[in-house]
Amino acid sequence: MRRRARRHLRAQRRRLPGPLAAHSLRRRRARHPATVRQGGTVWLTWRLSKKTDVNVINCLRRAGNGGNMMLASDFRLESRRAAMGGWNMIDDSIATARIAYRRDGAAVIRDVLDTGWIERMRAAVERVISAPSASAVEYTPGGAPGRYVGDFFVWMRDADFRALMLESPLPALAQSLMQSQETRLFYDQLLVKEPGTREETPWHQDLPYWPVKGEDVLSLWVPLDPVRLETGAVQYARGSHAEGHFYAPRAFSAGSGFADLYARMNLEPLPSEAEIRDRHEILCFETQPGDVVVHHPLALHYSAGNLSPTVRRRAIAIRYLGDDARWDARPGTFVEKESIRTGLLAPLDFADGARLDGPNFPRC
């Protein structure tokens, strides 16, 4: 059964030349479901779902990518608690998601978190944004419509955020994707765009912002609301993580307090948006609460404002570290900002190349 599923998956990939593949691919999927199912408590079903095909194509059309369309793999994770309340991630079951992540720089996995986690985190987000910490950043200028607010290392101040980072299915998912022996939490970042928010998240890579180097570093983007292009779905430049560029970070707003810090890096400037869209296919996932998008820290990505008059866009980005992640002592990373350093649990006194450990970066 598993061998037949793998053959079918390879055949489907070979049949993705362009936009006309969408309809016939959905019909073939209905006749030949590719399901990998193992054993006890957790299994993964790979599929190209009708809903995802349509949403991804629409995202690409509306993003101005013209006829340069592609289909995205949709990986559905159906989770059940084990008898003792733990989680058992079977690495073979997410091999297809890992392939897409390494090839494209981003992939989506469906139904990772159940409604209990979603409701719990929605309540936690309301607590956090109603009383912002010293490290929180209001990206929307005063008097402008909507609200774009972010915060860092929230898990250090909120028990529910800590539980999501360390006790949910997410650490095991990250470890399986990285194929690491050890997984540590790097940090979490809350990103909320309220209805009517005009502020964009500019094109950027994640890794240049961070004092980290290595291959075993990834981001899990966890939406708490239905997300589509109009509400700020993240758009990825497919394959950009593999080009070998390390671009200068961009501050998310002029008043965020990060611009002068990032200027100290003196890195290669980011290409224009037109250049990025001309050189790459744009990958976009429309998601539901419980889905998780995984992306590479060197993948170029961007999101528009939230143009919906009613739908919120609450999301949490969680960064995990694997076996080869090490401290990068280059100047200008985001942790040098005073409001962030003073909120940490311990000083950051690592030597360049040291393994990240201690209370700031707990083992999962």
What pLDDT was estimated at residue 73? Answer: 45
Average pLDDT over residues 28-48: 29
pLDDT tens track for 89-122: 434 458 888 999 999 999 999 999 999 999 999 9
Those residues whose C-beta lies under 8 Å from the C-beta of residue 83, and which sit 6 or more positions away, are: none
Confidence band of 76 (pLDDT split at 50, 70, 90): low
Separation CA 327–CA 274 (nearest Å): 34
Pairing of strands 201-204, 292-295: unpaired
State yes or no: pLDDT of 193 exceeds 60.
yes
Separation CA 49–CA 59 (nearest Å): 15
Separation CA 197–CA 307 (nearest Å): 6
Least confident span in 13-22, 33-42, 101-110, 206-215: 33-42
Confidence band of 210 (pLDDT split at 50, 70, 90): very high
Encoding tokens for residue 148? 């774009």
**pTM of structure:** 0.78
Name the residue ranges covered by the structural domains of the chain.
106-341
What pLDDT was estimated at residue 91? Answer: 44
Identify any residues that bridge with 47 across adjacent strands, giving them in sequence order: 74
pLDDT tens track for 219-268: 999 999 999 999 999 999 999 999 999 999 888 867 666 767 777 788 89
Q: What share of the chain is helix, strand, coil (3-state, %, to 5)?
A: 30, 25, 45
Those residues whose C-beta lies under 8 Å from the C-beta of residue 291, and which sit 6 or more positions away, are: 108, 109, 110, 111, 112, 223, 285
Separation CA 58–CA 327 (nearest Å): 40
Domain 106-341 = CATH 1.10.357.10? no
State yes or no: pLDDT of 88 exceeds 70.
no
